[in-house]
Amino acid sequence: MRLDNKVALVTGGTRGIGAAICIRLAREGASIVFTGRDIRAATPVISAIKECGVDAFFHKADVTDKERMEEVVNEVAKQLGSLDILVNNAGITRDSLFIRMKEDDWNAVINTNLNGVFNVTQATAKIMLKQRSGSIINISSVIGVAGNAGQANYAASKAGIIGLTKALAKEFATRHVRVNAIAPGFIETEMTKKLPDEAREKALAQIPLNFFAEPSDIASAAAFLASEDSRYITGQVLVVDGGMKM
Ligand code: NAD
């Protein structure tokens, strides 16, 4: 129970990696507040969190709505007394070759994946800096580290997250607020299920461990970065990719 008495906020927690992170942090003892755009999708996650014996709260909120996210963050701190862990997980893809990429698809991905992190983190940081403790975990991607043809918007947003992580780690360190990123490789979620078989086979051939990860593999990395086990780690990108990009 590494996270007893801690309060965690996870964005986009209704499914996939976000839901797995909510449940794993709950198993470690943290009270969980998670956001998403669909209340119905939140119900099974709320039940799974409560089964761990901790409090679960869901807020319908879009990360692109700065005002709404500030409202949620401030409500969490007021209701639960602190905000110790933030996981910026919400993310989307709108893939196409760059030459054909629609401006709307560029803007949607940057707005959700990068501006969304700004929106939530600025409000959260004010609380964490005041309380002089906290762990911020940004879900980037190996695509942000290495790039990928057909994903220029996604790569730019995820590389932006890495730069932001390092800048904030330096800005917040004296107040004991740590900021790290996780760069997942290929994880079995709705996001990757929509890829054609050929793309999946190509990806598998590049993974030395020779299997796709489960969302729980990212959740265990998040639990480590959230806990005091990583108290001397800040500004880092933890790559969880089965050796794909080494
Ligand atoms: P997913 O599509 O299954 O889940 C994404 C979640 O984010 C959903 O709950 C969705 O509703 C939410 N979301 C999207 N836009 C939102 C918005 N504007 N406001 C609030 N919530 C929003 O995807 P996933 O695979 O679980 O991905 C989670 C994170 O991990 C993303 O940031 C993704 O880029 C990253 N990632 C995933 C993989 C992978 O292989 N699946 C690899 C690397 C990184």
Domain that holds residue 145: 7-240
Mean pLDDT throughout 22-37?
A: 98
Tell whether 246 is covered by a domain: no
**What is the pLDDT at residue 8?**
98
Residue 158 Cα: closest atom of ligand 1: 34
Residue 62 Cα: closest atom of ligand 1: 19
Phi, psi of 184 (to 5 degrees): -70, 150
Answer yes or no: is 232 a known binding residue.
no
Instruction: Assign 194 a pLDDT band (cuts: 50, 70, 90).
Output: confident
Q: Report yes or no: 223 and 2 within 8 Å, Cβ to Cβ.
A: yes
DSSP E strands in 140-190: the ranges are: 177-184
Question: What CATH code is carried by the domain that includes residue 216?
Answer: 3.40.50.720
What would the pLDDT profile of 42-99 be if each residue is shown by its tens digit? Answer: 999 999 999 999 999 999 999 999 999 999 999 999 999 999 999 999 999 999 999 9
CA of 116 to the centre of ligand 1 (A): 12
Tell whether 1 is covered by a domain: no
**Sign of the CA dihedral with 184 first, then 190, 196, and 201 last:** positive
Pocket of ligand 1 (CB under 6 A): 11-12, 14-18, 35-37, 62-64, 89-92, 112, 116, 139, 141, 184, 186-187, 189-192
Answer yes or no: is 235 a known binding residue.
no
The CA-atom distances, in angstroms, between 177 and each of 13, 59, 135 are 22, 24, 6
- pTM for the model stands at 0.98
Tell whether 69 is covered by a domain: yes
